[in-house]
Chains A and B, each alone.
Chain A
Amino acid sequence: MNRRLDVLVCSGAACVSSHSAEVKSALACEIDARGLSDEIRLVETGCMGPCELGPVLLIYPGGTFYVRVSPNDVAEIVEEHFLKGRPVRRLLWETPEARRIAEEKKQVPFFEKQQKIVLANCGEIDPENIEEFIATGGYEALGRALTEKSPEELIETLVASGLRGRGGAGFPTGLKWRFVARESGKTKVVVCNADEGDPGAFMDRSLLEGDPHSVIEGMTIAAYAVGANHGYVYVRAEYPLAIRRLKTAIEQARNAGLLGLNILETGFAFDLEVRIGAGAFVCGEETALIASIEGERGMPRTRPPYPSTSGVFGHPTLINNAETWGNIRHIVLHGAQWFAAIGTPQSPGTKVFALSGKVVNTGLVEVPMGTTLREVIFDIGGGIPNGKAFKAVQTGGPSGGCIPAEYLDTPIDYESLKKLGAIMGSGGIIVMDEDNCMVNIAKYFLDFTCDESCGKCVPCRAGTRQMLDLLEKITDGKGETADIDRLRSLGMMVASTSLCGLGQSAPNPVLSTLKYFGHEYQAHIHEHRCEAKVCPSMIRFEINPAACRACDKCRTVCPVTAITGKPGTPPYQLDAQTCIRCGRCAEVCPFDAIAINSGDLN
């Protein structure tokens, strides 16, 4: 029988970690056992987006979208859906707000509001099959660029499109291309920055895992435009799947004559090398990345000279982020006007975000620039789980700022976020709810940047350390009023005088929380009160005598025998001095008799 079903199994790293490979092999066995192998094709794709719900399956025709599939569901899916045509309703995505079951992927609110350009192929094609990429129009842009367009025309198209760097700084991509094209050097280099180091960010990874050819195509077009014959993709070693698929894709492109000495038989030569980084956050900074490619210690260098003048081994170097590269083929195919019409005039196009934290639908989303934070968090993200209240959203990873609820309607673009003291960054969005202590959050991010500082310049190396010590002092309940000013002035100094972007942006989480959540710092310092009841030094467990039924449960779980009492004779007593605030007693109490309180006792 002819093929009638395509079963797409998400094999992005998140689904792989929730055992999508086992689902896939179970499907293969079951399909085989029922003699359906000819009719049904199993395809491993890149990330489909809703990572929280993995493993996910997408079935065509029809676009049925199954979530949280386990190998145990496979027999039923094959029997009921593949054989009898009845989708297994219990595995469809039930959207909590409407209590509505989505029959098809496109009906799911998570997907409805998105506009996928860069990620259009992610989750829809097999990333290890170059023909599937070609089927979606892949390498057509390269073909047209090489045969119909001059390098100047391509650069003009890029400039006119208004595309800006997706790595965070938002520098106009076309201008960068122009700078490199104008350099007279004989050897020029093209680099893809896929050294995504922010905690909670996985845009570049998903693109390389789901559609590696789009990055290769974008880089090859750029190489032709600026006159480069050699390129590097710098990926961190923590992304083994992305590295494997990228290497496979490069190999396939070479074999097809789409990379190498005579691309599409036009005489143009370009080839790519994969460089694997050891996973230092600072290597996402372009000059440190270049140093690392050269085999040097990954430390930033002062600019100027910019990489466009002197980059890899001193050659003029065009370096763009993976997501930026993913945009190129679409701009060449559809034109600058088409691209400029998407998003906002100052920030055209779409942006991919990694949505994580206290939000119902975590995962990968792509929206037009200018979409508001509220739309991303509440419409696409499905809001805050467990009925909790939204507190803040952090954009731009550890170097970003925390934005409070009153600015939720801010459109996401480079300038608007910067105005709020946050940054676009590479696209991490971390949502925080009432249970997050903002002082603790600032401490968490600063701990990260302090640890990731390369140690070259004094403000970043020693300044972030002093700031972290101050934050620890405050969360330990030893803060003084003057510490707030100390934090602020250290933060300003580190931001103004650090050598590279890491240090310059490292104080953002502290400065933005001081600005929008200053009252939490005050409460920690003056009342020893942690509103969110997070900082262990400021919380205490107390037994409410009226609610205690002397069931003895709490006493038996307490690891330090801080609770005393006799079964049946309430109330039990909790000795605050002995208590280590582990919280086990509150967890087991059937009567909610154990309260967590914070703040000085009057």
Chain B
Amino acid sequence: MSQSLPAIIYPVAIPLMGAFLLPIGARRMAELAGLFGRIVVLLSFSTSLALAVSIWTAGPAVSAMGGFAAPLGIVFYADRLAMLFLLALNVAVFLFWPRGQGAKGGPCTLMLALLAGGSGLILSGDLFNIFVFYEITAVASYGLAASGRTHAGFAAALRFLILGSVGSSLMLIGIALIYARTGTLNLADLSRIAPHALTGPVGLAAFILLLAGLGVKAELVPLNTWVPEVYGAAPARVSALLAGVVSKLAMVVALRFVVQVFPGDGAHTVLLVAGILGVLAGELAAWRAGSLMETFSYSSIAQLGMVALAFSISGAAGIAAGIALALHHAVVKPAFFMLAARWRGPVGGLAGAVKDSPLAVWLFVILSLSIIGIPPFPGFWAKFLFLKAAFAAPSAGVWIAVFVMLAGTVVEAAYLFRAVLVFFADGERGGSTPRFAFAQLAPALGLGAVLLAAMVFIAPLGASISGMADEASNAAAMAARVLDRGE
């Protein structure tokens, strides 16, 4: 552990350096910007993979920057949960790398900055570093939202920026509150101090302020007015990336706060309420939406609400359910967005799509069945984990969560089947709906293949996720790993 450059910083350092170098090179050789960026992502992915392998075999890794040990120094902390989402982020950035007109220096730089910020967010073990990386991620996503260079894109990005900055400022107030009460910013240190120093209304206020900041990215009610605007106006690849993976990173950070800093009932109740509102508002808005793009924007609010519901059940079982839901959504939703990007316009105009693009329609059916939770698809199993966690820890709040979850699923099934019925409408000769070129369908097909593969490997996947959840729910062990090294 005492080598000069610990492996844990490469997933952040490499894309960050790439993001600084790329614009310089792009001035001379604009056509190489995309290639250079992809190489940087591959490099960052391979270092992440190497780190993941070492963590899977040797347990969580901690690194103290510059040789200063925690709590004085700033730490990065990587366990299996962090590595899972780090790898998912790397894969998603590579998969949704800008193409064609969009593959200029600007968007490529922003993608690398997003990768660096997101990786830092997931690895940081320190409140203020989380804020800084959160801001890097946020600024990169404002820029990416506008990267279509359309009028709507600029307007959506500006409105997103204003909301996001208010959220970040509230988060910073929360951090100031926590520091004033406890005198530390280190999450591991806080997990020992906070249970007696951060109680009562002050602790709850601090949690709500932090969640207000994270909630903008995690699409929590009422901080998600940007969602339909940005996902409608931004390039589909950006929407897929933001909804699929970046929102989950904020959710995972919220989970870290709940486990390490706010283990009391108050924080769980706040998450529960945010989740209930998210599921209800999201599913109903998705049901009313006119186009597929809008439907999936709102349904992603609902899906993240379900993740929040799962995280609000205390204990490892709830965390496992939340991870499974988040992971499943991270695979399914980007694929939906890639399909919806081609099928723009009112759903009614897509009648007979099955004759024009049968492969895309069948992929849509499989994704829908999985997200609704029909066995044997992985989505069923994620929702089953949620119900299992709920029955293991029964309380009034949990029953409401179960009811909301099931009600949301019914609405979800209603609007997805409505779209499928339109695709299979009789009496349509076809030819009136857009066809997919293979390159347009490829990312969605790849994600569909991942989904089907997950169906086969569901047992080892389940065991791995519950191990991950056990590790991530044990705040005392995490604190010991960070603080008691070398003693």
Partners in one complex: no
**Interface of A toward B, CB cutoff 8 Å:** none
User: Residues of B with Cβ closer than 8 Å to A?
Assistant: none
